[in-house]
Amino acid sequence: MYQFVTGPLAWLSFVIFFGGVICRAVLYIRGLDWQLDRVAYKEFFSYGMKGAIHSIRAWLTPFGTHSWRYYPFMTIAFFTFHAGLVITPILLQAHNIILKERFGICLFSISDKTADMLTIAMLIAGVFLILRRVMLPEVRILTTKYDYAVLAITMLPFLTGFLAAHNIGNYDFWVIVHVLCGEVMLIAIPFTKLSHFVLFFMSRAQIGMDFGIKRGGMKNPKGFAW
């Protein structure tokens, strides 16, 4: 079973993940209006890029925007959740050992203690995000079972990986479940809200370019038709 989930099933999940993400990115770009978006971005590319970089940088910086500062506890939970979500699987020593054995690639690795701290912090932040959806009426009214399923898909690989790493229960069982949960998350990314893994950068760049060019970023440019 382990050979199957780490072999053919793993390759299938990676193919779906990369293919799906590329497809979502292409569809996003193709969905931009030729007159309202693409023409302006092409003609005033330097202004647009300044706005895009500023927008992405501001939203990737804790408390870098008004919205982040307005909800400080939410901001802390959000960044803690995503820091653990991104850093842990990429820089985990065990993952890099497998990467080295399979592909001859070795990235910088964090210590197991650091990985544990990030995992625990990420899971606690995830619980906070769930409670937020349950307790706040303005968020609860917009929340469906789909949102809880997406959070579960995101958190389960970390919970099962933590249980396996610390030999809590049956190690072989938790390793297989951990790999399966990770593969489910990879497959789900292109088809769910998890696609913001890529679309966040594209949408923030588009909004940043829009403001950088058409909404006060440029001062009376010649030949500007909007």
CB distance 55 to 208 below 8 Å:
yes
3-state secondary structure of 169: coil
Nearest Cα to 63, choosing from 86, 45, 79, 43? 79
Higher-confidence position of 174 and 6: 174
Structural domains of the chain, with CATH? 2-214 (1.20.950)
Give the pLDDT confidence score for residue 181 in this predicted structure: 95
Average pLDDT over residues 191-200: 92
Highest mean pLDDT: which range of 38-47, 118-127, 169-178, 202-211: 118-127
Whole-number Å distance between alpha carbons of 82 and 132: 16
3-state secondary structure of 92: strand
Q: Mind listing the pLDDT tens digit for each residue in 54-106? A: 889 999 999 888 888 888 989 999 999 999 999 999 998 888 888 777 777 77
What is the DSSP annotation of 105-168?
Answer: -----B-HHHHHHHHHHHHHHHHHHHHHHHH-HHHHTT--HHHHHHHHHHHHHHHHHHHHHTT-
Q: Mind listing the pLDDT tens digit for each residue in 146-159? A: 999 999 999 999 99
The predicted model scores a pTM of 0.84
- Token readout for 183 is 């593969």
